[in-house]
Structure 1
Amino acid sequence: MILSPFEWTIAKRYMLPGKGERFIALVAGISLVAVMLGVAALVIVMSVMNGFRAELFDKIVGLNGHAIVQAYGGRLDNWQDVLKDIRATPGVVRASPLIEQPLAVTFNGRLEGVSVRGNTTEDIARIRDKVKQGNLADLRPGSETVAIGSELAKNLGAQVGDVITLYNPLGRTTPFGTVPRQVAYKVGAIFEIGVYDYDNTFVIMPMQDAQTLLLTGDTVGMIEVTTTDPDRVETILAPVQRKLAGRAVVTDWKTINASLFEALAVERVAMFVVLSIIVLVAVFNILSSLIMLVRAKTRDIAILRTMGATRRSLLKVFVTTGFCIGALGTVAGVVIGFIFLYFRQPIVHAVEIVTGQNLWDPSIRFLTELPSRSDPVEIAVICVMSLVFSFLATLYPAYKAASTDPVQVLRYE
């Protein structure tokens, strides 16, 4: 919609009402602020929701792979042959043996439930960038050295170099019953994955040491698999599932974390709908301000009509006036949203200081920091939605202005 110089001059004049029309200007300003806040809220919430899902996916799948091949009974015999077959499957990028077992750990009289993970040296090296203290190079087979999560280290009060004791209930049998197996390990490194449950429970050690601790011999409990496309993991691993039928089950990341990611998807849609209603309500303010503007400018509109202004010109003038309010609010909302996202952690800390409340408890939120990941397509959809709502809100007032009969208005002038 291209405006002539005359139409653009009138539209600019109506965007900045005079002294006698300050109330209309106030309503228009409120409309702009309301659209700005609605768009900013949508940008912030959708980016945080996307970041939350992406961070969880990256950290969970990055540590556990896209799928787990788990043996029935917890022990996979001839795992070397199975591993070779999985690695030869088209679409499989990486496959590694894994041992995972819930046990208990003690240190200085403190007892915590943990999940012991036995990994290969190559897999242990993958979390090198997550290490906060110590050195993963110390975790060599037979060294009796382990790496523990940062939250677990905090709960135990353990530091690098301390010796912790792991308890395996499947110990040696005596005339008085089974005596739990107790093995002391040195803490060689402290890591932080960024997912509270992992940082609070994981004890990582070389696979051979885990086999010795759990008395499993040369067997593993599962094989973690990474594929070229996590969304097609079921199709890629279908041949493996058929070949291992009766011996092991293939469980992909969607099944393992189904409840969590489905809840995030539902919450994401619900938040988008609710916040879109906020933008819609804000647009009604534009409608109100334009209706008042048309009522206040009825005489001016009649004079413009008698001077030769067409209905189309008046329609374009008032549509432009209202649409510019919505467009300015949309642009300002996107800018404020990105500023908030950029400074999100300092803002969260500032609110925590002011309110005295812990707004981001990792034990509840899973992640240690507020995540954010903006999707350009979603941002574009939000902007288009706001602009469309703003445009639709201008049609009725603009139509009423264009329908003004100058004869009726100026009859008694």
Structure 2
Amino acid sequence: MTGAKPFSQFERMIAWRYLRSKRAEGGVSVMTWISLIGIALAVFALIATLAVRSGFRTEFVGTILGANAHATLYTGPRTDADGVMRTGFGDFEQALAELRETPGVSRVAGIVKGQVLASANGRNLGVQVFGETLADLKTLPLISEPEQSWGALDDIGNGVAIGSGVARELSLRVGDAITLTSPDGVQTAFGTAPRVIAYDVAYVFQVGRYDIDSTRVYMPRGEAQSYFNQEGRIDEFEIMVDTPELVNDLAPMLLASAPDRALIWTWFDANGGFLRALQMEDNIMFVILGVLVLIATMNIVSGLIMLVKNKGRDIGILRTMGLTEASVLRVFFMCGSAIGVLGTIIGVTMGCLFVIYIDPIFGLINYIAGGGVWDPSVRMLSDLPAELRWQDVTKAVSLSLGLSFGITYFPARRAARMNPVEALRYE
């Protein structure tokens, strides 16, 4: 046995015998099961939490980028040659063409926007109106291909498109009329009269994000220019790029192609703080759940210490038969690491299955709780998102196995250094 190879069949046989031995035989099967279940639950919780956090980030970024511009070019108010206060850009067609030719740009649209009061069926709601051409709307991912839709986007020339939240708040369906009231209307001798116009609802969309579904109204750009007194002008250039994460690198080229005095506002400027907060929460959550995995693996230490104490006589006999310290260390190391590996496998399996079937599981929880568990108005999403990424699974597995192997070494080393004479003195 002195010349036996590391982790030989003989060592594996002894480790397996100790793992499955009953308490009456000097084993610690109860502690083994507690350690196994603890590690499995900790790894399951870690994978499930990381998957949900990844799903939240992907869903939020997807809805942000799918219905909002990656970058917006705008300008402040200024007085024109006639002494009239103007906003936005005139003669914008050339700038549109130049921006579309900018490398890395996938979409450019000239839009007119404003905030108005929407009314229908005796109810009122503040909404944000976006005026875009039909061709531009068809290239806006979450509007042309939303989660759910009613009506046809092609019919927007005869009316407006509204979010599902707007439709719900005002009790509207496709074909109903919605009245929009703007404070900046017609100039009269007595001041500015509000502009009140009724439009037919041609299209209702649901993108899955509450703050978009409950505030957005789209209308043809020509109608929006007339409605907001912006004939021949636009308020902003709405820009999307091939790689949203690199939009700040394209900012100088976009400004170079834009009209004079243009300013840029990127999606990082609008949502950067939120995304950084998500990343910080992800790191904190990983640390907290990592502590749970550490606590679960600590049960391996207590179980191995009890096993070493109960198997002291066996260790003494094996040492007198020629088993080396290294062999004893490996035997007990395999005992502890086997618990960690098996618990990790079970935890990974449970976590992956939970993420894959999260919708029916959460639906059952919502049914048992009587509904109302998930409020889109608070969480901004219509469903609980979850994304299973191999990076998250790898982190969970590495943490669990690393802690299991590291913690197992110390009681195994104690068993290896046990003096066989002392172990057999009272036998």
Structure 1 window deviating more from structure 2 (174-183 vs 296-305): it is 174-183
* Contact 1:134 1:160 (C-alpha < 8 Å) held by counterparts: yes
* Contact 1:348 1:359 (C-alpha < 8 Å) held by counterparts: no
Where 1:72 maps in the other structure, the secondary structure is coil
1:69 aligns with 2:85: no
Q: Give the deviation of 1:94 after TM superposition.
A: 1.8
Name the amino acid aligned to 1:203. V
- Structure 2: which 5+ residue stretches go unaligned? 78-86
Name the amino acid aligned to 1:355. A
Q: Give the deviation of 1:50 after TM superposition.
A: 1.1
Q: In structure 2, what is the equivalent of residue 34 of structure 1?
A: 38
Q: In structure 1, what is the equivalent of residue 320 of structure 2?
A: 306
1:376 aligns with 2:376: no
User: Residues 277 and 357 from structure 1, CA distance in 2 versus in 1: closer, same or farther, beyond 3 angstroms?
Assistant: farther
Specify which of 122, 129, 138 is matched with residue 145 of structure 2. 129
Specify which of 35, 45, 61 is matched with residue 57 of structure 1. 61
User: Residues 396 and 54 from structure 1, CA distance in 2 versus in 1: closer, same or farther, beyond 3 angstroms?
Assistant: same
Specify which of 381, 393, 398 is matched with residue 367 of structure 1. 381
Q: In structure 2, what is the equivalent of residue 180 of structure 1?
A: 194
* Contact 1:194 1:368 (C-alpha < 8 Å) held by counterparts: yes
Where 1:164 maps in the other structure, the secondary structure is strand
User: Residues 360 and 300 from structure 1, CA distance in 2 versus in 1: closer, same or farther, beyond 3 angstroms?
Assistant: same
* Contact 1:135 1:189 (C-alpha < 8 Å) held by counterparts: yes
Q: How does 1:185-196 map to 2 (within 5 A)?
A: 185-196=199-210
1:11 aligns with 2:15: yes
Where 2:426 maps in the other structure, the secondary structure is coil
Q: Distance in 2 between matches of 1:225 and 1:129?
A: 19
Q: Give the deviation of 1:345 after TM superposition.
A: 2.2
Q: Distance in 1 between matches of 2:258 and 2:219?
A: 28
Q: Distance in 2 between matches of 1:395 and 1:375?
A: 31
Q: In structure 2, what is the equivalent of residue 80 of structure 1?
A: 93
- Structure 1: which 5+ residue stretches go unaligned? none
1:111 aligns with 2:124: yes
Q: Give the deviation of 1:245 after TM superposition.
A: 8.1
Q: How does 1:14-413 map to 2 (within 5 A)?
A: 14-20=18-24, 24-73=28-77, 74-126=87-139, 127-130=143-146, 131-140=148-157, 143=158, 145-242=159-256, 244=258, 247-356=261-370, 358-413=372-427
* Contact 2:99 2:258 (C-alpha < 8 Å) held by counterparts: no
Q: Give the deviation of 1:213 after TM superposition.
A: 1.4
User: Residues 118 and 28 from structure 1, CA distance in 2 versus in 1: closer, same or farther, beyond 3 angstroms?
Assistant: same
* Contact 2:300 2:408 (C-alpha < 8 Å) held by counterparts: yes
Q: Distance in 2 between matches of 1:195 and 1:155?
A: 15
Q: Give the deviation of 1:337 after TM superposition.
A: 0.9
Q: Distance in 2 between matches of 1:2 and 1:187?
A: 76
Name the amino acid aligned to 1:91. G
Q: Give the deviation of 1:368 after TM superposition.
A: 0.7
How many residue pairs end up in the alignment?
410
Could you list the per-position Cα deviations for residues 2-23 of structure 1 after superposition, in whole angstroms to 9, with x for gaps in the alignment?
5211101111111112241698
Name the amino acid aligned to 1:112. L
Q: Distance in 2 between matches of 1:238 and 1:329?
A: 53
Q: Distance in 2 between matches of 1:299 and 1:207?
A: 88
TM-score, normalisation: structure 2: 0.92
Q: Distance in 1 between matches of 2:238 and 2:64?
A: 12
User: Residues 301 and 23 from structure 1, CA distance in 2 versus in 1: closer, same or farther, beyond 3 angstroms?
Assistant: closer
Structure 1 window deviating more from structure 2 (99-108 vs 344-353): it is 344-353
User: Residues 227 and 21 from structure 1, CA distance in 2 versus in 1: closer, same or farther, beyond 3 angstroms?
Assistant: farther
Where 1:217 maps in the other structure, the secondary structure is coil
User: Residues 17 and 123 from structure 1, CA distance in 2 versus in 1: closer, same or farther, beyond 3 angstroms?
Assistant: farther
User: Residues 22 and 220 from structure 1, CA distance in 2 versus in 1: closer, same or farther, beyond 3 angstroms?
Assistant: farther
Q: Give the deviation of 1:262 after TM superposition.
A: 1.6
Where 2:233 maps in the other structure, the secondary structure is coil
Q: Distance in 2 between matches of 1:21 and 1:257?
A: 62
* Contact 2:41 2:347 (C-alpha < 8 Å) held by counterparts: yes
Structure 1 window deviating more from structure 2 (94-103 vs 296-305): it is 94-103
Where 1:398 maps in the other structure, the secondary structure is helix
Could you list the per-position Cα deviations for residues 96-149 of structure 1 after superposition, in whole angstroms to 9, with x for gaps in the alignment?
112221111000110001011112212322423214211111112xx2x11111
Where 1:93 maps in the other structure, the secondary structure is strand
Q: Distance in 2 between matches of 1:239 and 1:175?
A: 46
Q: Give the deviation of 1:354 after TM superposition.
A: 2.8
Question: Identity across aligned pairs (percent)?
Answer: 38
Structure 1 segments (4+ residues) deviating >4 Å: 242-246
* Contact 2:36 2:339 (C-alpha < 8 Å) held by counterparts: yes
Cα root mean square deviation, aligned: 1.8
TM-score, normalisation: structure 1: 0.95
Q: Give the deviation of 1:352 after TM superposition.
A: 2.7
Could you list the per-position Cα deviations for residues 345-379 of structure 1 after superposition, in whole angstroms to 9, with x for gaps in the alignment?
22223223333462321111111111112221221
Name the amino acid aligned to 1:115. Q
Q: Distance in 1 between matches of 2:232 and 2:113?
A: 14
Q: Distance in 1 between matches of 2:304 and 2:41?
A: 20
* Contact 1:77 1:219 (C-alpha < 8 Å) held by counterparts: yes
User: Residues 305 and 200 from structure 1, CA distance in 2 versus in 1: closer, same or farther, beyond 3 angstroms?
Assistant: same
